[in-house]
Structure 1
Amino acid sequence: MTAEPSSLTDADPRPHVVVLGAGFAGLSAVRSLRKAPVKVTLVDRHSYSTFQPLLYQVATGALNPGDITYGARGFAAHTGAYFRKGEVTTVDPETRTISLDVGPDLHYDYLVIANGVTTNYFGVPGAAEHAFPIYTRGEALAVRDRMTSYLDHIAATGEARGASVVVVGGGATGVEMAGTLAELRNTVLPSRYPELDPGEVHVVLVEMTDKVLPPFAPRLREYAAEQLRARGVELRLEAAVKEVRPDSVLLADGTELDANMTVWATGVAAHERVKNWGLRQGKGGRIVVGGDLRVPDHPEILVAGDIGVIEDDALPQLAQPALQTGQHAGRTIMHVLAGEPTERFHYKDKGTMATIGRLSAVADIAHGPKLVGVLAWLTWMFVHIFALLGNRNRVFVTLGLAFRYLAQRRGVMVVGDDPG
Structure 2
Amino acid sequence: MRQKIVVIGAGFAGLELVSRLKGTDCDITLIDRRNHHLFQPLLYQVATTVLSTAEVAWPVRRLFRKRKDVTTLMADVTDIDRMRKKVICADGTKVDYDWLAVATGAGHTYFGHDEWERFAPGLKTLEDATTIRRHLLQAFEKAELTGDDAERQALLTFVIIGAGPTGVELAGSIAELCHRVLPSDFRRIDTRATRIILVEAGDRILAGFDPKLSEYAASALQQRGVQVRTGAQVTDITAEGVRIGDAFLQSRTVLWAAGVRASPAAEWLGAETDRAGRAKVSETLRLPDDPSVFVLGDTAHIVSAGSMVPGVAPAAKQQGAYAARVIRAALRGKPAPPPFRYRHQGDLATIGRNAAIIDLGRLTLSGRLAWWVWGISHIYFLIGTRSRIFVALSWLWSFLTRQNSGRLITQSDKVVPRNDRQS
Whether contact under 8 Å (2:108, 2:259) holds in the other structure is yes
SS of equivalent residue, structure 1 residue 149: helix
Aligned alpha-carbon RMSD (Å): 1.9
Confirm whether residue 299 of structure 1 aligns to residue 288 of structure 2.
no
Shift, 1:119, TM fit: 0.9
Shift, 1:366, TM fit: 4.5
Residues 154-177 of structure 1, C-alpha deviations (whole Å, 9 max, x = no match): 212334333111001111000000
Whether contact under 8 Å (2:274, 2:301) holds in the other structure is yes
Distance (Å, rounded) in 1 between the aligned partners of 2:185 and 2:177:
10
Question: Which residue among 171, 176, 186 is the counterpart of 2:169?
Answer: 176
Distance (Å, rounded) in 2 between the aligned partners of 1:76 and 1:91:
25
Confirm whether residue 226 of structure 1 aligns to residue 209 of structure 2.
no
Select between 207-216 and 389-398 the one with higher mean Cα deviation: 389-398
What residue in structure 2 maps to residue 44 of structure 1? 32
Residues 40-62 of structure 1, C-alpha deviations (whole Å, 9 max, x = no match): 11111111100000010000001
What residue in structure 2 maps to residue 57 of structure 1? 45
Question: Which residue among 90, 94, 101 is the counterpart of 1:112?
Answer: 101
What residue in structure 1 maps to residue 300 of structure 2? 308
Confirm whether residue 372 of structure 1 aligns to residue 361 of structure 2.
no
Aligned pairs, number: 405
Distance (Å, rounded) in 2 between the aligned partners of 1:103 and 1:64:
35
Shift, 1:411, TM fit: 5.6
Confirm whether residue 215 of structure 1 aligns to residue 211 of structure 2.
no
Confirm whether residue 363 of structure 1 aligns to residue 337 of structure 2.
no
Confirm whether residue 195 of structure 1 aligns to residue 183 of structure 2.
no
Whether contact under 8 Å (1:134, 1:264) holds in the other structure is yes
Whether contact under 8 Å (2:10, 2:31) holds in the other structure is yes
What residue in structure 1 maps to residue 275 of structure 2? 283
Question: Which residue among 94, 107, 119 is the counterpart of 1:130?
Answer: 119
Distance (Å, rounded) in 1 between the aligned partners of 2:70 and 2:287:
24
Runs of at least 5 residues in structure 1 that lack an aligned partner in the other structure: 1-12
Which 4+ runs in 1 deviate beyond 6 A?
416-420
Select between 353-362 and 99-108 the one with higher mean Cα deviation: 99-108
Question: Which residue among 5, 9, 12 is the counterpart of 1:24?
Answer: 12
Shift, 1:335, TM fit: 2.0
Question: Which residue among 157, 163, 187 is the counterpart of 2:146?
Answer: 157
SS of equivalent residue, structure 2 residue 62: helix
State the TM-score, normalized to the length of structure 1: 0.92
Residues 317-328 of structure 1 correspond to what in structure 2 (within 5 A)? Answer: 317-328=311-322
What residue in structure 2 maps to residue 67 of structure 1? 55
Whether contact under 8 Å (1:362, 1:376) holds in the other structure is yes
Distance (Å, rounded) in 2 between the aligned partners of 1:199 and 1:58:
21
Q: 1:337 to 1:273 in 2, by over 3 A?
A: closer
Shift, 1:277, TM fit: 3.1
What residue in structure 1 maps to residue 263 of structure 2? 271
What residue in structure 1 maps to residue 421 of structure 2? none
Shift, 1:338, TM fit: 2.8
Whether contact under 8 Å (1:19, 1:112) holds in the other structure is yes
Q: 1:238 to 1:19 in 2, by over 3 A?
A: same
Question: Which amino acid in structure 2 is aligned with residue 236 of structure 1?
Answer: R
Shift, 1:276, TM fit: 3.8
What residue in structure 2 maps to residue 3 of structure 1? none
Distance (Å, rounded) in 1 between the aligned partners of 2:112 and 2:193:
32
Whether contact under 8 Å (2:146, 2:152) holds in the other structure is no
What is the percentage of aligned positions where both structures have the same residue? 34
Runs of at least 5 residues in structure 2 that lack an aligned partner in the other structure: 417-423
Confirm whether residue 404 of structure 1 aligns to residue 422 of structure 2.
no
What residue in structure 2 maps to residue 245 of structure 1? 238
